[in-house]
Chain A
């Protein structure tokens, strides 16, 4: 007995060693960036890791001089609408897929799930044309184009939505979510049928059922999706980089590079301040909704 005990406490010692080492490597870049964000320009290029007192000055500098405040507002606006839209649209779609019976259900579900294979990046050239090409000058011209299958399907896109350079170009294409439909559907299937039956017998229509019964029962899934989509949208890089060419509408991830490419010498203390600021919102959402995320997503996809 004591031998086993001794072995396990020796084991625990090594486990602690390994984990401390791992945490050091995982956290060092973050700690490093946080410390550097507080230093003056003179200190930041030295190896010193002593926290300075310049944090507030640096924040004010990047917030105003490099328009980080504006980028953050844009990112918040976009992330809010995309996350909200994805959750609402997925709730509606999953509701139809679970609580209705209709022809072609399997096909529609397959159609939605297949989009998991088509990340935006892969279709970026086509999407760019659809989103940013000029719209048709008249409805008649648009219809002529749309009803000519050879032109509409088999030639490069002629007319688009003319949304290049606007925040809408980063919102509209992302409102639907295969992950969301998949998760809500999976969750709805665990809800006993009797609940839906009794609701219907009580004369509850399907919209009321969705709003007053399903939604309160799906808070974990909603929380999990909020984490996934918030982090995904906030961290998006390539699409806004390509489609938004006006600083006034740019998002934080792309705007961040403005600090590094501004002058002759890079002000690394301000760069690190910007990096930290850009990281805070998704990190907060992740920490606050961590429990819901684990219960609603991480645990359920493993089953």
Chain B
């Protein structure tokens, strides 16, 4: 009971007074709206007309059956694929680069600064710059490709390429964040196990897998979680600016835009032209269940390593 040892002030009403603002804000603007988002999924509701009608599980049935289902199912798998790409590429790149930038070499501080600045970059700005870079007519990527190889790919209208460009933009934007945490973890690492391995003549690869990777695993778990929420939610800004969820994919991905993640679909269905808020809320509920599942796994694995006790 470490915390109790700090409890010097008595008067528990005072404690509640300190907590009150936080509790009120959280209930009013997080818990209550979360409940209401789920409730909305049981209604047919139009944002513009202001109509509401209780239809039970109708919206959830429509997710898996009927004319709206293929679009949802496609977006569901796209979101998983998108997240795995952003997560896998982003975390492995940043781990590799953080290890390099943490070595005792000349100019390491400058390298670090040049690698982590995208921490402050916003998704919308990242999307804006990438829209110009990959513009098929006047973007610099195509200008160079055309001069060198006479190639002129339609980056944002070819489904496969558009997906790749979106993943690239998302990885680029989050690289700084990931590298910051790996650098911090590396600076906290004691050098003894690695020095011992050096004396034993272990190869660089073995040193990495057997010593460094396990020692960094708390950071990796933390980053897996933050990168998942990033690719689920924060990527919205990139997608909205860069592709608007388009283009339509090739069969069997021809029921929705190839870069439409679940979050983007919730936005289009709920606030877009057709405004089917109940259906969007059902999609949002599935998203909520997904995140809750991931969080549960995360705390199961990661929570044991971190002290969350009061």
Contacts and interface: CB of A to CB of B under 8 A. Distances in A.
A257 interface: yes
Given A122-B233, A156-B40, A302 B120 contact: no
Interface in B180-226: 180-181, 183-185, 187-188, 218-219, 222
Interface string A104-130: 011011011101111101111111111
Interface residues of B, number: 105
B114 interface: yes
A176 B25 contact: yes
Interface string A214-239: 00000000000000000100110110
B120 A285 contact: yes
A93 B18 CA distance: 5
B16 A189 contact: no
B233 A253 contact: no
A272 B140 CA distance: 14
B122 A234 contact: yes
Given A23-B114, A47-B143, A125 B284 contact: yes
A130 B33 contact: yes
Contacts of B121: 235, 279, 282-283
Interface in B237-274: 237, 240-241, 263, 266-267, 270-271
Interface stretch (B6-14, B63-71, B73-81, B157-165): B6-14
B26 interface: yes
Contacts of B45: 156
Contact of B288 (A16, A89, A122, A131): A122
B95 interface: no
Chain B interface mostly helix, strand, loop or mixed? helix
Interface string B93-123: 0000100110101110001001101111111
B280 interface: yes
Given A156-B40, A237-B240, A231 B16 contact: no
B3 interface: yes
A298 interface: yes
A268 B122 contact: no
Interface of B: 2-12, 14-19, 21-23, 25-26, 28-40, 43, 45, 52, 97, 100-101, 103, 105-107, 111, 114-115, 117-126, 128-133, 138, 140, 143-144, 147, 172, 175-176, 180-181, 183-185, 187-188, 218-219, 222, 229, 232-233, 236-237, 240-241, 263, 266-267, 270-271, 277, 280-281, 284, 287-288, 291-292, 295, 308, 310
21 contacts: A15-B103, A18-B97, A19-B100, A26-B175, A36-B132, A98-B7, A100-B11, A101-B4, A118-B31, A119-B233, A123-B33, A126-B37, A131-B29, A235-B120, A235-B123, A237-B122, A238-B236, A257-B241, A272-B128, A278-B122, A299-B188
